[in-house]
Amino acid sequence: MPRNEKAIRVLTSSTNTRELARAAQELAASADADDQAALGAALRNSALQARLDPPDADYAGAEDLNIARPLRTLAGNRSPLARGTLTTLINDATFTEDPDRFDLLLRATATWRPPDPVVVAFWRRAMDPDDVHFQIAVAVATENATEPAVAFFESCLRDARYDDETKISWMRRPLLMHRVEEPFLKMSERLLSTGPPAPLARPLQAALVEALFDFKQEEWYPPHSPPVPPRWTATTPAGRDILRRIAAYARNTLGPGAELETAIKAVVTQLDAIDGTRPR
């Protein structure tokens, strides 16, 4: 017996978009198997999709759609049943053929920690460089910030299908936003080390070091795009050691110019100050 019959009835019959969205959210928040099953079936139903978001309704992008609301609630519901509903939707080719629903599902996986292999596979499906989803997939994976997500991000940075400009933009935004977190610092070290796998090409190595150490607000970003770099005080002792190793590698191997050299030195000085040690 479904726990929330009223919500299920609304989904079956209502044409009031707000009422429909609310009912769908009630089911999405539920920990009841029948509620989740009913929701999964309803969201995959094209008639309900059309009642929830009539094609002629005002439209301001994917996140403005009413169907975004139950997906958002599902993302916040950590129960395995809710995750199961998301998996059902991910595996439904008809549901994901719509670019908006695809993007909304991607966004719903940002808080799935650690991500299920199904989720990582879904991110990989999004990585067609000629399509419109790969930037969202990278943003979602870096927000997820777990080891599998960072591994996925690393694979993107190594992927030959993307040009250097795209990879540098990933270094200057999602990586920079996480520059104090150990998984991202370990990844950065792997991308610079001799491998295997092979390190990044030298110009990309230099760009990576620059992104970590020498934030250039007005040179790198249009007015609305600069991220706010996290403070170095948020690093762990192990993270600071990785940063020092990266700094040493850059100085010894990459031949940084005077500007980058100065920036690296300034950051290392800050790291040393955090540790209460003398400059090395």
Q: With binding defined as CB under 8 A, does residue 179 bind other proteins?
A: no
Binding-site member from 32, 92, 100, 147 for other proteins (CB under 8 A): 100
State the Cα–Cα distance between residues 191 and 246, nearest whole angstrom. 10
Measure the CA–CA gap between 232 and 230, rounded to whole angstroms. 7
C-alpha–C-alpha distance, residues 37 and 203, integer Å: 51
Among 10, 43, 65, 149, binds other proteins (CB under 8 A): 65
Q: Which stretch binds other proteins (CB under 8 A): 98-106, 151-159, 182-190, 254-262?
A: 98-106
CB of 19 to other proteins, least distance (A): 11
Give burial (CB, 10 Å; 0-12/13-18/19+) of 65: buried
Q: Which of 74, 76, 78, 90 is nearest to 36 (CA)?
A: 74
Q: At what angle do helices 147-158 and 134-144 cross, to 10 degrees?
A: 140
Residue 249 one-letter amino acid: Y
Of 16 and 236, which CB lies nearer to other proteins in the complex structure?
16
163 vs 275 by CB, closer to other proteins: 163
Closest listed residue to residue 86, CA positions, set 99, 98, 70: 70
Residue from the set 10, 11, 20, 28 that interacts with other proteins by CB under 8 A: 28
* Token representation of residue 151: 């591994």
Is 64 a binding residue for other proteins by CB under 8 A? The answer is yes
Site membership for other proteins, residue 66 (CB under 8 A): yes
Q: Least Å distance between CB 205 and other proteins?
A: 19
Q: Which is nearer to other proteins, 199 or 229 (CB)?
A: 229
Reading the block at residue 190, the tokens are 């792997």
Establish if 130 lies at the interface with other proteins (CB under 8 A).
yes
**Integer Cα distance of 51 and 73 in angstroms:** 19
Q: Which is nearer to other proteins, 66 or 109 (CB)?
A: 66
Residue 47, both tokens: 């008639």
| The one among 6, 18, 161, 202 contacting other proteins by CB under 8 A | 18
CA-to-CA distance for 266 and 257, rounded, in angstroms? 14
- 78 versus 280: smaller Cβ distance to other proteins: 78
Closer CB to other proteins, residue 84 or residue 227?
227
Within a 13 Å sphere around the CA of 246, how many CA atoms are in the beta-carbon half? 31
Residues 246-275 close enough to bind other proteins by CB under 8 A: none
* Closer CB to other proteins, 111 or 193, in the complex: 111
Give the N- to C-terminal CA distance of the chain in Å, as an integer.
68
Residues that bind other proteins in the complex, under the rule CB under 8 A? 18, 21-22, 25-26, 28-29, 55, 59-66, 68-69, 72-73, 76-77, 98-100, 103, 130-136, 138-139, 142-143, 165-166, 169, 172-174, 177, 217-229
